[in-house]
Amino acid sequence: MITFMNNSDSEDEPCNERTSLMSAESPPVPSYQDGLQASETREAQTHRKRQTGSSRSPNNVADEDTSDLDVRVRESALENEEEELTLKYGAKHVIMLFVPVTLCMIVVVATIKSVRFYTEKNGQLIYTPFSEDTPSVGQRLLNSVLNTIIMISVIVVMTVFLVVLYKYRCYKFIHGWLILSSFMLLFLFTYIYLGEVLKTYNVAMDYPTVILIIWNFGAVGMICIHWKGPLQLQQAYLIMISALMALVFIKYLPEWSAWVILGAISIYDLIAVLCPKGPLRMLVETAQERNEPIFPALIYSSAMIWTVGMAKPDTAAKGQSQQTWDADGRENHSSSSHSDSQILDTRSPAPSHPITLEEMEEEERGVKLGLGDFIFYSVLVGKAAATPSGDWNTTLACFVAILIGLCLTLLLLAVFKKALPALPISITFGLIFYFSTDNLVRPFMDTLASHQLYI
Amino acid sequence: MGAAVFFGCAGIAFGPALALVLLTVAAEPLRVIILVAGAFFWLVSLLLASLVWFISVHLSDQGNARLQYGLLIFGAAVSVLLQEAFRFAYFKLLKKADEGLATISEDGRSPISLRQMAYVSGLSFGIISGVFSVINILADSIGPGVVGIHGDSPYYFITSAFLTMAVVLLHTFWGVIFFDACEKRHYWCLGLVVVSHLVTSGLTFLNPWYVASLVPIYIITFCMGIWAFFTAGGSFHNILKCLSCKQEDDSRVMMYSALQVPFED
């Protein structure tokens, strides 16, 4: 159980290799890129993402330098176009986050609706020791508040511990911890999940097959997440582990405690990121001082990879439409020249006309969202799907609410250009919509449907 | 009952909507955002209407079936009016956003026109309205059961699916007409849209007498479709041009490539 919490707590990894996968991880330069930098940092702002630096490798440093220079080149070229580019990217980047968040929620909702295991109550975590099986409402409420206090304190302690580790540069310790936690997620929880799905559909599977499947899934996952791998595979793995984690929370958190915890976590997120002495803010600032990529770890990054190098006229002219990138492309460029006259070439879903410099700049950054945000969004929607009434309207209302919250958060990010917490707006909307849809809209729509009335 | 009914009804109800989304909305990020935001606005309107209905039900005598039915009609009417009010609010928001986008963009023109926004917002209202009306019914249609075993109509699922399709299309058309009317300040158009929405909702009160409800609703849908087509700038000439599949000669293409800066090696 302790490792359990570790899993949830330390979803980040010092993925130095990951920095080599995505140029979006270049060090935050307080400039034009701030808005997007902020998006990088912001997302990791959940208590889960206490990230800490990666163990630096020389390879990485070269990448950093290159990307540093890129950033400066872009910076000077584009300061005056800051405003419009922020918005232009805004829409595209919002969609780049909508898609993974939606996929994660779909996986969680599909599992909740079909696999009984995750809605059965089989005990609780040690972090929520008070039971909710009490006769009176007041006692139940008190127990859930106490559970929340314990859970949030554990999270705060973990966050502070991670920040302290990061400050004192104990990168190896953090690295090891994260590898252990993702190992458990990828192997143990996947095994349990597979077992439950097979049980639900009454499919028999022999142990050798299970071992083969789990081994392959887990090993490729570890490699993709902690080392190198195709971007989309990595994204898929991150979505899957977030979904698994969310399912575990949905199963083991008692009903009322879950809702109070969701509320408390958003408040904590807000405080931790925005207050001057908040742990996450300190983490961000420390990383900025050290000029390290802030959260090169378990953060979902939707970045498109850039290739930095000499201009390639034919590729630029024809436009590239390939969508998959892998680390090899990036590594080729780490040895590219550092001259200021680098022309940035990008591989992106290309327009049919030759890519101008401005467009290349536009495609450069992806957006990052911390996995804790994925997890808590999915917990909210999953809990909405797990309501005993089996109502789909509640689930859909919460889904829309979360997406709108995410959209607003990104809009605020474009306006304020600093680290912002991703949880509060979405979770607030989600909670409002959950309770109002479940209690007000559901009876209304059910009554209308029983008379086959349409509004 | 079973998978056949589920897939069939889902296809009927959401086929056009899905096709429209995949072909026109999915590729453009801005349109997707407008779609989701429109759904949000509709949901808020529904929430408020449900609140009104809920309060009215709890303040009244719950045993009186006729009163409850009357309150339901009242709730439905309030909901329709609130939906249109929120459609207006969304129009205002999109208008502001359009101006914002225009100022921010390179060439002073917004990347999306108000008409496109009208279409997408109408579609979003339609989709979320249709989904909320029919998704629980579809979920039940998978499971075991017999339709109308207590004497209700056995055509419940299929008629619900057709009604949903009509609602989706209607909202799309209303969106186009509404925004255009607001833009040009043709208040009679606005009134007509609201009245037709009320009439459509009212016609569903005639269910299960499906001939009286489905047929007029489809007639209204068709009329609204034609009206929206002409409002959006369509004409007979356009249809002919589209059907004849003629390629337009675009001399601008030549100019563009002439201006292209050659890439250096």
**Model pLDDT for residues A262-271, shown as the tens digit of each residue:** 999 999 999 9
In this model, does residue A26 exceed pLDDT 80?
no
What is the per-residue pLDDT for B265? 54
Q: Is A269 a catalytic residue?
A: yes
More reliable by pLDDT, A290 or A208: A208
At A302 the pLDDT is: 78
- What does the pLDDT read at residue A368? 79
- Give the least confident one: A165-179, A424-438, B19-33, B193-207: A165-179
- Token reading at A364: 């450069």
pLDDT range class, residue B1, cuts 50, 70, 90: confident
Tokens of A16: 């130095």
> Catalytic pick from A9, A373, A391, A438?
A373
**Mean pLDDT of all residues in chain A?**
74
pLDDT on residue A301? 82
The pTM assigned to this predicted structure is 0.79
H-assigned helices in A319-417: 327-334, 357-362, 371-385, 392-416
Helix (H) / strand (E) containing A306:
strand A306-309
| Amino acid at site B228 | A
For range A418-445, the mean pLDDT:
94
- Chain A residues within 8 A of B260 when measuring between CB atoms: 353-354
Answer yes or no: A373 catalytic: yes
A83: pLDDT confidence band, cut at 50, 70 and 90?
low
CA separation, residue B242 to residues A429, B115, B234, B247 (Å)? 44, 19, 11, 9
Contact between residue B199 and residue B49 where contact means Cβ atoms under 8 Å apart? no
Contact between chains at B160 and A452 (C-beta distance less than 8 A): yes
Task: Report which of residues B107 and B68 the model is more confident about.
Answer: B68
Judged by average pLDDT, the poorest of A42-46, A74-78, A212-216, B188-192 is: A42-46
d(CA B51, nearest CA chain A) in Å: 6
- Supply the pLDDT for residue A189: 95
Lowest mean pLDDT among A24-28, A370-374, A411-415: A24-28
Residue B6 has pLDDT above 80, yes or no: yes
| Contact flag B51-A92 (C-beta cutoff 8 Å) | no
Residues of A in contact with B43 (CB under 8 A): 397, 400-401, 433, 437
Confidence check: pLDDT of A406 > 80: yes
- Which among A9, A269, A391, A438 is annotated as catalytic? A269
Q: Is B118 helix (H, G, I), strand (E, B) or coil?
A: helix
> What is the mean predicted confidence (pLDDT) over A425-444?
96
B51 CB neighbours in chain A (<8 A) are: 436, 440
Q: What is the ipTM of this complex?
A: 0.90
- Asked which of A12-21, A145-154, B9-18, B144-153 is least confident by mean pLDDT, the reply is A12-21
Q: Do residues A360 and A395 lie in contact, with contact meaning Cβ atoms separated by under 8 Å?
A: no
Q: What is the pLDDT of residue A86?
A: 54
CA–CA dist B152, B138 (Å, integer):
17
pLDDT at A344 over 50: no
Percent of chain B with pLDDT over 70: 92
